[in-house]
């Protein structure tokens, strides 16, 4: 019985060792993944073109390693972009006390488009990677939707209660105007300087909001 007890104790020791090794490997994997994401965020902040080789070099890993953690560039850009933005509530903190949805939408539109412009290489890369793959559209961060919802919070108990479809339609309309696509149409196709393009999008968004909101809302 003593021999059996001693024999039984050895696997327990092995399991502990293997468990520690497994935890170490998991920690290393997490560190590597974090390093890749951090490198991507730093390249985005620097306004440089984002490629998987560039990210791998900045993260001090091989390109093959980067692809093991992120199967394609769009998945990496999507996660890096999502973590680069504040929450909608944090973003709209300067107008948190305003009950005016028009003012709030104007602020949200300008906030989004200035952020898009400062990160445009990454945003354009994400759009290019997903526009031909509609099934991959979920990889795009969709920052606009949270900002629009936050901007229109004062309407939830008024317009939303009386005419929820009208509020839903307003949000859909704003999703067109409060967007990277709108900014790039104005700069690339209409030839507007960035400041003028942002101002134009803000006018469109506030006009849509004013038209949809009843005077007593």
For residue 18, the domain's CATH number is 1.10.10.60
For residues 171 and 152, the answer to whether their CB atoms sit within 8 Å is: yes
Prediction pTM value: 0.77
Domain count along the chain: 2
Per-residue pLDDT of the chain (217 residues; tens, 9 = 90+): 444 444 444 444 455 556 666 787 888 899 999 999 999 989 888 877 788 999 999 999 999 999 999 988 888 988 888 878 899 999 999 999 999 999 999 999 999 999 999 989 888 888 887 777 777 677 677 899 999 999 999 999 999 999 999 999 999 999 999 999 999 999 999 999 999 999 999 999 999 999 998 766 5
Q: Which of 195, 175, 205 is nearest to 106 (CA)?
A: 205
79 within some domain: no
| Same-domain status, 65 and 96 | no
Instruction: List all residues 6 or more positions away from 180 whose beta carbon is below 8 Å from its beta carbon.
Output: 113, 116, 120, 123, 127
| Same-domain status, 129 and 183 | yes
81 within some domain: no
Distance between CA atoms of 138 and 140, rounded to whole angstroms?
5
Distance between CA atoms of 92 and 26, rounded to whole angstroms?
37
Helices in the chain by DSSP H: which ranges?
2-46, 52-59, 63-69, 73-84, 88-91, 101-118, 120-131, 143-151, 159-162, 164-177, 180-184, 194-212
| Same-domain status, 64 and 112 | no
| Same-domain status, 119 and 165 | yes
Q: Which of 28, 25, 5 is nearest to 17 (CA)?
A: 25
Check residue 79 and give its pLDDT: 86
For residues 163 and 170, the answer to whether their CB atoms sit within 8 Å is: no
Q: How many residues does the chain have?
A: 217
196 within some domain: yes
| Same-domain status, 97 and 65 | no
77 within some domain: no
Rg, the chain, Cα only: 24
Quickly tell me which residue has 């961060």 as its tokens: 141
Q: Pick from 70, 104, 129: which residue ends a domain?
A: 70
For residues 209 and 105, the answer to whether their CB atoms sit within 8 Å is: yes
Query: How many Å separate Cα 24 from the centre of its chain?
Result: 30
| Same-domain status, 65 and 93 | no
Q: Which of 84, 103, 93 is nearest to 46 (CA)?
A: 84
| Same-domain status, 58 and 111 | no
Domain interval for residue 137: 86-212
For residues 179 and 120, the answer to whether their CB atoms sit within 8 Å is: no
| Same-domain status, 62 and 98 | no
| Same-domain status, 109 and 28 | no
Check residue 6 and give its pLDDT: 42
| Same-domain status, 106 and 143 | yes
| Same-domain status, 92 and 42 | no
Quickly tell me which residue has 């090794």 as its tokens: 21
Check residue 146 and give its pLDDT: 95
């Amino acid at each position: 019985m003593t021999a059996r007890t001693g024999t039984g104790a050895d696997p327990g020791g092995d399991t502990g060792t293997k468990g520690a090794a497994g935890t170490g490997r998991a920690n290393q994997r997490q560190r590597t993944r974090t390093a890749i994401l951090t490198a991507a965020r730093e390249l985005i902040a620097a306004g440089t073109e984002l490629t998987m080789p560039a990210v791998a070099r900045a993260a001090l890993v091989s390109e093959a390693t980067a692809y093991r953690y992120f199967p394609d560039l769009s998945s990496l850009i999507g996660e890096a972009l999502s973590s680069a933005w504040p929450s909608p509530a944090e973003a709209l903190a300067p107008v948190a006390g305003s009950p005016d949805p028009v003012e709030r939408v104007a602020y949200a539109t300008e906030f989004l488009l200035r952020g898009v412009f400062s990160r445009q290489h990454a945003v354009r890369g994400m759009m290019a990677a997903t526009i031909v793959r509609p099934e991959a559209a979920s990889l795009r961060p969709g920052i606009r939707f949270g900002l629009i919802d936050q901007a229109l919070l004062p309407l939830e108990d008024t317009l939303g209660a009386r005419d929820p479809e009208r509020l839903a339609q307003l949000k859909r309309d704003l999703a067109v105007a409060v967007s990277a696509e709108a900014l790039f149409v104005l700069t690339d196709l209409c030839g507007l300087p960035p400041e003028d393009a942002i101002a134009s999008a803000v006018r469109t968004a506030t006009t849509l909001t004013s038209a949809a909101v009843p005077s007593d809302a």
